[in-house]
Amino acid sequence: MACPADSALMRRASQEGFATIPLGSAFHLRGALHGAQIVHAHTGRAQNLAFLAAMRLSIARVATRHVAFEPRRPRIHALKYTMACDGIIAVSQAVRSILVKAGVPASKVVVIPNAVETPVVSASAGERRAARLKYGLAERDFAAGHLGAFTPEKGQDVAIEAAMLLSERMPHLRVILAGEGSPAAPPDARVLFPGFVADRNEFFAALDLFIMPSRSEGWGLAAAEALAHGIPVVASHTGGLPEIVEHGETGWLVQPNDPRALASAIADAASDAHRLQGMAAKARSRGFEYSVERTAGLTEKFYRRLHTSGL
């Protein structure tokens, strides 16, 4: 496993007994490919390194496309994914459509969603109380949370504006925006910025609702994770999110970049505790569809297909 030095991924992989090397030059990576059958890249830079490192080696090259950005240069994009890869994994149908539209052969692309670690049991009432206490939530508060790095496409600014719109209508609303790169000072006491969250189980246990106001989203890992924890989701109708959230069943889909639509969905969620509880049960059932075992099995099946094709 080649990954950034001293990253969370490298630390966890090392702790669990996987062989790891720092992701450096193509020359460095080539030395680690001795005896390998497949090299699998997960970022654009990693894909470039894998292509160079595996040149003239009998190794199948796989790339996973995680983002739903429209390519600025479709022909170059298509060339990169056609010539530099033997197989491509798209994390959603939306991502696959963008690749095929850009000119990547459809036969090369399979859809395999990312996996989430599904908790064996839901958080107990005691665990939920303790989690809410940690985040300073009162029993009467309605907690809507988001988890993700603070980048423009994640839409945390949309969530903040929605919270401001609900200040009079929902005085007990608390919005928790967790993730790296959060602002130092909150614009309002009802919007909380806990920063990077190490204990994700505790974070989800504190919530009544998960919000994902993304402007662009290849799939929506945090949304799927929320569902697996039994938390209904309000998400933007963009990218792969409509493939995860079933409107009216496990949550709400709203137009992206629309604070009023997001505010309306949050208010709707908070207006009927019984309905929200029913959605929570459906959400947890839906979350099991993204188990690690299922994703690993589909990925291995794809690897075997490449291997038996003689690549």
**pLDDT of res. 184:** 66
Tokens of 286: 């839906």
pLDDT at 165 over 70: yes
Sign of the alpha-carbon torsion through 154, 157, 160, 161: negative
Alpha-carbon 277 to chain mean position = 24
Q: Tell me: the pLDDT tens digits for 220-269?
A: 999 999 999 999 999 999 999 999 999 999 999 999 999 999 999 999 99
Q: Tell me: the pLDDT tens digits for 95-139?
A: 999 999 999 999 999 999 999 988 878 889 999 999 999 999 999
| Global pTM value | 0.90
Confidence of residue 187 (pLDDT cuts 50, 70, 90): low
pLDDT at 297 over 90: yes
Which whole number is the average pLDDT over 153-176?
Answer: 96
Using a CB cutoff of 8 Å and minimum separation of 24, what contacts does 178-186 make?
178/145, 178/146, 178/147, 178/148, 178/203, 179/146, 179/147, 179/148, 179/149, 179/150, 179/154, 180/149, 180/150, 181/149, 181/150, 181/151, 182/150, 182/156, 183/150
**pLDDT of res. 7:** 87
What proportion of the chain, given as a percentage, has pLDDT over 70?
98
pLDDT at 311 over 70: no
pLDDT at 309 over 80: no
**pLDDT of res. 185:** 63
pLDDT at 84 over 60: yes
**pLDDT of res. 76:** 86
Helix, strand, coil fractions of the chain, as percent rounded to 5: 45, 15, 40
Is 261 within 8 Å of 166 (Cβ atoms)? no
**pLDDT of res. 251:** 97
Which whole number is the average pLDDT over 213-220?
Answer: 95
62/145 Cα distance (integer angstroms): 34
**pLDDT of res. 310:** 57
